[in-house]
Structure formats: C-alpha cells, structure tokens
Chains A and B, each alone.
Chain A
Amino acid sequence: MLKKKPIIMDVDTGVDDTLALLLVAAADTLELKAITTVFGNCSLETTTENTLKICELLGLDVPVAAGAYRPVIDPPIDYSVAPMVDIHGRDGLGNVGNRLPAPTKQAEKMAAADLMAKAIKESEEKVTIVATAPLTNIATFLLAYPDLHEKVECIALMGGAAFGGNMGFSVEANIGHDPDAAKIVFMSDVPKYMFSLDATMGCFITDDERQAIADNGGKTGEFLKDCMQQYSDIYKALGGLPGAVLHDSLPVAWLLDESVVEFKHCYVDVELKGVKTRGCTVTDLVGYTGKSANTYVSMKADREKLINMHIEAAKKFN
C-alpha cells in the first residue's frame, strides 16, 4: 500500500477551506493528523465551529485546536463590518451553515501550536503543514518550537501574489490579515510553497461544475454546492469570473498530484512598511535583491484537473 503523506491543516473555514477539506477527506494518499483554526474569513469562534461542523460532515475524525483570534501586531478585525462577510457569508459557510447539525465534538483544550507540535512529534515521517489562512498560528509554532522545524516537510500556504491582490491592489488577504506573521514564516528555514493568486485566480468553478458536485456527492454534494452560491455570485459580480475561485484547494490538490501547479523558485519577502502595500509578498522573479530563493511560487494551475478532483472527491460521499 502506498505510504500516506502526513499533513496538518491550518484553516479559517471559510467556503474555500471547506472545499480544500473535501479533497483531504476523500484522499487516499494523505493522512490528516490535526487541524488548527485561526481568525481570517470569520472570527476564530466561527472558523472553529465551522471546522468542527465540516469535519463531521466529511467524516474527518481528527483533533481540532483553536489558535489565534487576532493578528500578532495589527488590531483585531471587526467582523461586524469586515468585507469578508459578503464573500463567505455571515456564518462563513455561505449562509447555509445552519443546515448542518451543531458539532458533537469540541475543540481540544490546547494551544494550536501545541497541537501542531504534538502531531509532528508523534509522526515518524516529516509532516507537511497546509495553511489556508492568515499565518498567525504557523508563525507562533515556528517561534515556539525551533527544534521541530526540521521535522516539517514543507509549509504549503495559500496566500500572497507576485502580481496583484484581492485585499489591496497588491495585497492578498491571508497575508494582508497578518503581514508580521507572514514575515516570520518567510524568514524561517522551513521549505515553503506559496500558492499565490498568480495561480489560484485561474481556479474558478463554473455553475455546471458546481452542479456536478451536487449531482455526484449526495447530500454532502448538495450542501457544498449551496455553500458556494454566494461566494460564486460575488466572484461573478466583482471579479467578472465564471464562478467561485477555489484558492484554498490548490495546495491540497498539489499534494495529490504535483502536475497541477507550475512553480518558480525565487526570493519572497513581505513588505511591512508600505502604507498601502503592507502585506505585499515581494516576489523577486528577476533577481534584483540578490538574495537566494526561499520559496516556490505558483505561477500557473491546471484548473480542469483541480475541479475534477473535487467532483471525484464528492462521489465518495454519495
């Protein structure tokens, strides 16, 4: 039997986190050790509750620990006015989260960084950390457990952009919500794969494909389809795209099939001082900084392959 790849997920569930978890739940080649939650798409309270609900929906029986409720330095986000509500819904699950039963399990009574450390220590193999949220928990773990860096296979993070942004003109939301944490992560010696907007913006799901998830995935598929509705509508209206963009699925899809993504290996640093560029992942594709490459940056993704993975994954829940 194929050896399973041990992973930890750090999430802010979130519509696209949910779809990423779908891929994880259906994967034969991944062994999910733990999930940690963080503020981001919604408040920590909501992302944690959502994560527990989605785990039960998808049959993921793993420990979940709640991490940071706010960025390391920037002030906490006021979710009563944050624009993420318009994207992920008031409940973070496209306003259909109330269709899921309240979670029966609770989050572990331990710090997110401690749960990560525990999972990594218990694993024989090096562990891959998939982060689809602001990097606050990851930064905390890296600072708190310097001895465990070498047991991290890599950090596969959804965030950043060589060009463009979705929070500011040149700022991506996961990085923009905690630039200082991101700086700590990019400064670290752990191998990094940045699944940036350069590739993820191409990963939209059309209405037909969304329907295919419903048609193939039974009640779970139906829920996922509806969960993406508002998210899809806003991408159509504001982004002029054919549907919702499944940013967070890309790192998981890459763990399942490396051919889904094309990378450039280059130096990435996080701008902290710019007034409106704070949180920009400065990606030195040409080599101006003279610094050695520290990150694999996704430049292109195979959209159809990625979407098909979701449809195939949904079949397992029929």
Chain B
Amino acid sequence: MIKRPLIIDCDPGIDDAECLMMVQGSGQFDIRGITAVHGNVPLELTSKNALFLSKLYGMDCPVYKGAKEALIQRLTRAEYVHGSNGLIGFEYELPEDAEFAEGHAWDFIWEEAVKQNGELEILAIGPLTNLAIAVMKYPELPKLIKNLVIMGGSAGSGNFGVYSEYNIAQDPHACEIVLQAGFPNFTMVDWNACHMVHLTEEEWKPLLNLPETNKFAALAKRMLEFEVVNKAKLREEGTNIFPTGDDHYTCDPTAAAVLIDPEIAQYVEKYAFCDCVGEMTRGQTVIDWLGFAPLKNIKLPVAMDREKFVEMYFKCVKSYDREDC
C-alpha cells in the first residue's frame, strides 16, 4: 500500500496528542512533517509537545515551529482544559536526539506540497495561522493540496463564544484567509461534528489499564484521570460546557477519523465565511445554509458513525502494543 503523504499542523494540546496517536496508529500515512502553531498553549510548549509526541509515537519526521501569535488578534489561552504545559501536566523528557527542523512551518508546507506534486494532504487541528501565512506567501498552495481536513469552527453553538469555536476564535483572520483561499477539497470538522462521537465510560475505562508497553498508556491514563477531576470541578462551578455524563468527548480525534476514513461521516457542501470584526460574532464560521452565495468552499460533517469511530480509535491504540512500532 502506498502511504498517503501528510503534514499535521497542530497545537498540542491533549486532544492533539490523541489525534496524532490515531493518525500514526492508522498506519495509512507517510507523515512528512509536523508543524506546530500557537493555540492551546504558547508555541514554545506546543512545539515541544509536538516534538515529544512525534518521538513517543515513533513518527520519523521533522517537526517545525510555526507562528507564535495570531495574525492580528491577541487572546488568552485555554489552560483550563489542557493544563499548564498543554499535556495536562504530563511530564516527559525529550530524547537526546530530539531537535526541531530548521526553517519555517509555512515554507516547509509549500516545499513539501511542490515535492508531492498534488498528492499532499494536510490535517490542521489548531488555529489556522501557519496555513494562512503559507497561503499569503504562496497563493498557488491550495491547488497543490489534495485534501485539507481541519478541526475548527462551528456550524451551531460554540465552545469559546456563543457561536465561536476555540481554534478559530484564536485567529479568525487566519480562518477567513484559509476559507477563501480556494482549497479544492476542504473538510471542516466543526465543534458540532465533534459532539457526534465519544467514548462511553464503559469504553474508555479500559484505556486506564493498557499494558505498560503500549506507548499511549501513560498519556491516556493521565488524560482520563485529569478529565474526571476537571469535569467534577467544572460541574461544581456550573461552567461545564461538555455534554452531560462521564462520556469522553474529544475534538481533534474526530478530525483524525474523518481523515483516516472519510466514509465515517455524511457531509453537506456549503459556503462559509469567518466573521473577524463582530462584537459578539467574531470568530464565528457563518454557514450559508440557504445557498445565497454562488459557490461552496467546505464539506461539513452532519452525521458521524460513532461505533465506527470507537472501533477505529481502539484499533489505533492497539497498534502501539507492539514493541517495535
């Protein structure tokens, strides 16, 4: 099987860690590189976490640093979900040989797109700043990207504002640039879609008891234990924005699942823009439901196969049981 060439643009972020686990665990991809971006925590941490995760999961690929800040906007970070270091305080030491690749994220994306000659896919699961800079610098880029899957935006309610989702709210201008850039195959896995899949308590409990040799084991345990504590705290404060119960909801892995097997979802094709200036709608990905606009620029998942997601998730987790992976 020829592996699909892929760049992952991310801001790890605990759900990025799960997402990377799935992408690598699926065995489908030739991961050409990881580009880190500011987001869940500052770039210094997201890039370091990305480097650590690439080594943990045995991805033999360069890791680039990208944008430190949004194009225009300045906002605070989501430490309440991701802990102070982005990996909910999970402590690790970088292997001695771990180092960042030289150069900028956006130049790497362009060079790789040219090299792959129309076959490159991109999974972007953080603010879209790196991608926006790449598009600004290389307007021909979209045409060379076979498939762009992002986790971001919302077609309904948000998780940052009334209508805005966190990744997009961090850099609405970047989102608008990317939406209008003309990517021919652009799937927006939005906050709504991320609510269509989850692991039930019964399903996620076994993740606490993975064999120690499994490379995802320690991180999974930390993530789920932190989540239980965090949810209890949010409930007590009355600020729990997650769906009820003890199910494990997670964002970025939903995008991984859509990338790995697009048939996991049903889609509608719509036109969307991102509001950058509204007092209350800033960061909203506004969907043209009725079709006022003459064009479409995104595919939006409107239904997801949860059972299939669970099956996929655990198949990926299991791939790390092997010592040699």
Q: Give the B-binding residues of A (Cβ under 8 A).
A: 163-166, 168-170, 238-239, 269, 271-278, 280, 282-286, 288-289
Contacts and interface: CB of A to CB of B under 8 A. Distances in A.
Contacts, number: 73
A163 B156 contact: yes
Contact of A276 (B156, B163, B286): B286
B22 to A, nearest CB: 28
Majority SS at the chain A contact face: loop
Interface stretch (B79-87, B130-138, B197-205, B287-295): B287-295
A274 B157 contact: no
Contacts of A269: 280
A163 B160 CA distance: 17
Interface in B270-306: 273, 275-282, 284, 286-292
Contacts of B98: none
B290 A271 contact: no
A169 B287 CA distance: 6
Interface in B310-325: none
Given A284-B162, A286-B157, A288-B162, A276 B273 contact: yes
Contact of B278 (A166, A277, A283): A277
A273 B279 contact: yes
B284 A277 contact: yes
A-B pairs, top 8 by smallest CB distance, nearest first, are: A274-B278, A277-B281, A282-B280, A273-B279, A274-B281, A169-B286, A169-B288, A164-B289
A275 B163 contact: no
B162 A274 contact: no
Given A169-B286, A280-B281, A275 B275 contact: yes
A164 B280 contact: no
Contact of A168 (B157, B160, B292): B292
Given A283-B162, A285-B157, A286-B162, A169 B281 contact: no
Interface of B: 156-158, 160-163, 241, 273, 275-282, 284, 286-292
Nearest to B276: A275
Contacts of B287: 164, 169-170
Contact of A273 (B162, B273, B278): B278
A274 B279 contact: yes
Given A163-B156, A168-B292, A284-B162, A271 B278 contact: yes
29 contacts: A163-B289, A164-B290, A166-B290, A169-B288, A169-B289, A238-B291, A269-B280, A271-B280, A272-B279, A273-B277, A273-B278, A273-B279, A274-B277, A275-B276, A276-B273, A276-B275, A276-B286, A277-B278, A277-B284, A277-B286, A280-B278, A280-B280, A280-B281, A282-B162, A284-B162, A285-B162, A286-B162, A288-B158, A288-B160
A209 B157 CA distance: 35
Contacts of B160: 288
